[in-house]
Amino acid sequence: MIYKILIRTLALAVVGCVFALPALAQWQWIDKDGKKVFSDRAPPVDVLQKNILKQPGLKPASPAIPVTSLEAAPVSAKVASSPAQNSAAPKLLGKDIELEARKKHTADLEKAQKQIENDKLAAAKTDNCERVRKGQASLLSGVRIAVVNVKGEREVMDDNTRLLETRRLQAIVDSDCTK
């Protein structure tokens, strides 16, 4: 019995290690057959740089940037062409508009959810107050009221019990039913 549990645990540990290997790999590339390869070692030298998907560190491998004629040009040509490049680049305002919109939407949803919850609580409180007031009116009317005791027998309220119940209901009205 114990051996079965140990074998099962060992088998699960081995399977877990096999599936965890890609997560521990620091290198990821596409080999010459088009398959993804995960490894803790660098790819062979025959693998092209563009086929390396991930390498040690948190950033994916960046493709090699070709040398343009602008980089080979003299500094004066670079300075002259830089305003044109800057106008084509997107201007960053320091805010992510989409992120701000999602945050606002989430805040609005939370606010609406709280309002719905508060409305439900208020409706329940109003209903409870209405029931307490009806019970209080019944007690004050003087009509005989019967209650069922613990044994399931029907008992008529005496004056002392009626007075205690009236006081209890009045305390509920005073604490919960103020308008």
Looking at residue 87, its pLDDT comes to 54
d(CA 47, CA 32) in angstroms, rounded, equals 7
Enumerate residue ranges in the chain where pLDDT < 50: 58, 60-61, 63-73, 75-85
Please give the span between the terminal C-alpha atoms of the chain, in angstroms, as a whole number: 69
Residues paired with residue 154 on neighbouring β-strands, in sequence order: 148
Q: Where are the domains of the chain?
A: 1-61, 97-176
User: Which of these, 11, 4, 41, lies nearest to 25 by C-alpha position?
Assistant: 41
At position 124, the amino acid (one-letter code) is A
- Residue 20 pLDDT: 55
Express each pLDDT in 46-68 by its tens digit: 888 888 888 886 454 454 444 44
The reported pLDDT for the residue numbered 79 is 47
